[in-house]
Structure 1
């Protein structure tokens, strides 16, 4: 299989990463200018990032209630993933099943050698074989593209800004504030809020681009983008019919799912971790034309 890049999408990913880097440098310059002791904050942020990187798979499995299964429990599913891994040039990941009425799937893990691909029991009943293959290929594309590492690095500046915001509020509530440092502290707090908001928007944009890239990867692995279009439509339609209580139980893991399970009203596109369904389908139809050579 030839892994063809979408250079327009790749450029948007790199541009978003560059903007995050520039935002980080500006933020560090402001903090240093006001004499903020950065070592403690950076060490804490790095520590949180390492925990997220090395233990993200265990944390996601724990929060979703997904369970690692052996080949003897779901032999067909294992064979399907094994075949897709051969097509994608990936090592075999661990496979997990999640009991939920919300049809969905996700991938996690810090690298292809430490990956977990999970799906709900309801999605296995909902989709036919080609559609399920397309969904699993989407998740394996996240693994191949090392999206856990990408998003962990991208969230670094947001973690620093969040820590400064919280430490300032804590010092105001419990440590008091003197005239000498009060003005500088307020400026740093305001800058931190702005940086946190801007970095969050950039991270969400990056997340949406990664979903487009994973959709493209699925189409290239299976050579069947129409199957993923069908799967996305089925999943979206079924999620709308699932009670809000069931969706709320797994809402915390929405960033990992192929389609987020929102328990409330639809949120603004700008604040979503995933692109709108119609844009994903339009992009897959474009890829389908590319594969057909016209």
Structure 2
């Protein structure tokens, strides 16, 4: 347990999403077994990917982002902020890392509080004031406290499985095979896999956007400074817009982990984004500020 305020909305959405994904998984496997495919082989491979991502997410993320763990002697101010926030939240202090990147951002990863790591970029450290950095780090610690990384890893499993089965079907030639006196097996598999992937994608993206709002709220309430987090959001989003697109694309694969997405689109594509729009995040923080002012 931590002192982060419980979020019943987040808990309810996590439970509902997992329930729906579980039902979808059972139906998906039932169809695959009914048409007599070798889906079990692909499922085993997918489970292997899931376990690797679940247990090695912290190492994989740091390696991919070129982040390195730093000691209190190397980054005393950063460690000091995380020390204070961890004590305030009554949670174990995560490992601390820095990624050498001008893209201002931060992320938390690790399957639980004992294996968590919080990483910030050098670009973020150069741009934010101490109170703004505290707001960002409180947001990331909320992800750790709510085990968001583990939840999203498990939630994404069905989409990964559907994608692998689709590729297996296309590359194995199964898509051109037919049951004797029956419909094409491959087309059935491709159709079902596509539907499963689309539905699981939408469910996980909806959950991802809500967990970002929940982390904003929990971080703001922990620090009692929603305005500092709002200032950090505004500053980071504005500065990211000035980063060369090619540099942002190199980081786009990690959008789900980031405090602010590396690339975002102000169009219908935003409906499928990992993060809610900036305006919605700022509106929530303004409401929290008003609530705190009335207490």
Does the 8 Å contact 1:251/1:263 carry over to 2?
A: no
The residue number in structure 2 matching 1:183 is 184
Shift of residue 198 of structure 1? 1.1
For the structure 1 residues 251 and 281, does the alpha-carbon distance in structure 2 shift closer, same or farther, using more than 3 Å as the test? same
Does the 8 Å contact 1:106/1:117 carry over to 2?
A: yes
Does the 8 Å contact 1:244/1:263 carry over to 2?
A: no
The residue number in structure 1 matching 2:280 is 279
For the structure 1 residues 128 and 147, does the alpha-carbon distance in structure 2 shift closer, same or farther, using more than 3 Å as the test? same
The residue number in structure 2 matching 1:108 is 109
For the structure 1 residues 69 and 2, does the alpha-carbon distance in structure 2 shift closer, same or farther, using more than 3 Å as the test? closer
TM-score (norm 1): 0.92
CA deviation profile, 1:231-256 (whole Å, cap 9, x unmatched): 10000111111111221222221211
- CA distance in 2 between counterparts of 1:20 and 1:263 reads 26
CA deviation profile, 1:126-182 (whole Å, cap 9, x unmatched): 111111000011111111111111011101211221121011101118x96355376
Q: Secondary structure at the match of 1:101?
A: coil
Shift of residue 111 of structure 1? 1.1
- Which structure 1 residue ranges, 4+ long, deviate > 6 Å from structure 2? 263-267
The residue number in structure 2 matching 1:7 is 8
Q: Secondary structure at the match of 2:69?
A: strand
Q: Which runs of 5+ in 2 are unaligned?
A: none
After superposition, where does 1:2-81 map in structure 2 within 5 Å? 2-81=3-82
Does the 8 Å contact 2:264/2:273 carry over to 1?
A: no
Shift of residue 55 of structure 1? 1.2
What's the C-alpha RMSD, in Å, of the aligned pairs?
2.2
For the structure 1 residues 292 and 22, does the alpha-carbon distance in structure 2 shift closer, same or farther, using more than 3 Å as the test? farther
CA deviation profile, 1:93-132 (whole Å, cap 9, x unmatched): 1111112221111111111111111111121121111110
Q: Which runs of 5+ in 1 are unaligned?
A: none
- CA distance in 2 between counterparts of 1:267 and 1:62 reads 33
The residue number in structure 1 matching 2:152 is 151
Shift of residue 22 of structure 1? 2.3
Q: Secondary structure at the match of 1:241?
A: coil
After superposition, where does 1:91-130 map in structure 2 within 5 Å? 91-130=92-131
The residue number in structure 2 matching 1:219 is 220
